[in-house]
Amino acid sequence: MSGIDGINGIDGKVVAITGAGSGIGEATALLLAERGARVVLGGRRVERLAEVVERIEKAGGVAVSVRTDVTRRDDLHALVALARERFGRLDVLFSNAGVGTISPLDDLRVDEWDEMVDVNVKGLLHGIGAALPVFRAQGSGHFVTTASTAAFRVVPNMAVYAGTKVAVRAICEGLRQEAGDSVRVTTVSPGVIATDFAEASTNSQVRAHITEMRDRLAIPADAIARAVAFAVEQPAGVDVNEIVVRPTAQA
C-alpha cells in the first residue's frame, strides 16, 4: 500500500460498498481490492460478505465487512464509522445496493413499490447523510452510485423502478453541483448485467421475460466494476460524472 496517492489512483484508497455480497458490488470489491484499495463491505447477507472478504484476503488484499441494511440510517453511519475506525478515513462511498421487484402497476404490489423507494432512493440518501460530513472534514471524498439505463428509458413494468433510478440521477447531479471543488460525484448506469437482480420480480411472467433477456444479452458485472475503477482512479481534480455501460446488443 502506498497511501491515497498510490501509483494507480486506487492503491490505498478506503472504499465502502453497499450491496457488496453479490453481483456488481461483489465484482467491484474484488477489482478495487486487487488494485490495492482497502474495502469496507456492507449488505444484509453477512455470509455472502464474509465469503467476499475471505476471497480478497486469500488474494492478499484488505477487506472488512459489517451487516448493513441501507434502509436504516444508523447502519450507514456504522459502515462509514467502520471505515474510519479500521483505516482512518473514507475515500469513496459506492452506493450500489438496489432492488428491482418490477411489475405492472395494475398488480398493486405496493409493498414492493415501498421497498424500491426505501432501498434505491432513501438508501442512497442515508449514505450521503453519513459520508458527506466525513468528506467535508477530510477535504476530499468521492460518491459513486449505481443508477440504471432505466433512468434514461422507461419501459412497461418498470415505472416505479425507473422512477427510483431517475431520482438517483437527480440527487447525484444535485449533489455534484453542491459538492464544490473537493468532493467528486459519479453516477454509473448499467444496462443488462449478469446478476441475480433479474430474478427479484414476484410476477412470474415479468420474471420470465427479464431473465430471458438477461440470459440472451447480459454482460458480466466486471464491466461495471471496471467503469467504477475508471472513475475512482482519476486524479483528484478530475470528476467523471456519468458513465453508461450496456451490452452492445441492448436496444
Ligand X SMILES: NC(=O)c1ccc[n+]([C@@H]2O[C@H](COP(=O)([O-])OP(=O)(O)OC[C@H]3O[C@@H](n4cnc5c(N)ncnc54)[C@H](OP(=O)(O)O)[C@@H]3O)[C@@H](O)[C@H]2O)c1
- Nearest CA among 1, 2, 64, 16 for reference residue 232: 16
Is residue 163 within the footprint of ligand X (CB under 6 A)?
Answer: no
User: Is the CB of 71 or the CB of 138 nearer to ligand X?
Assistant: 71
44 is an interface residue for ligand X by CB under 6 A? yes
Q: Can residue 24 be called a binding residue for ligand X (CB under 6 A)? A: yes
Nearest to 94 by CA among 39, 149, 49, 136: 39
Q: Which helix or strand (DSSP H or E) is residue 208 part of?
A: helix 204-217
Quote the CA–CA distance of 13 and 6 in Å, as a whole number: 8
Please report where in the chains the cell 464491466 appears, as a residue: 223
Residue number, 146 or 187, with CB nearest to ligand X: 146
**Of the ranges 33-41, 55-63, 135-143, 189-197, which one interacts with ligand X (CB under 6 A)?**
189-197
User: E strands along 150-231, which residues?
Assistant: 183-190
List residues bridging with 188 in a β-sheet.
Answer: 146, 243
> Judged by CB under 6 A, how many residues of this single chain contact ligand X?
30
> Of 65-124, which residues contact ligand X (CB under 6 A)?
68-71, 96-100, 119
Residues in contact with ligand X by the rule CB under 6 A: 18-19, 21-25, 43-45, 48, 68-71, 96-100, 119, 146, 148, 190, 192-193, 195-197, 221
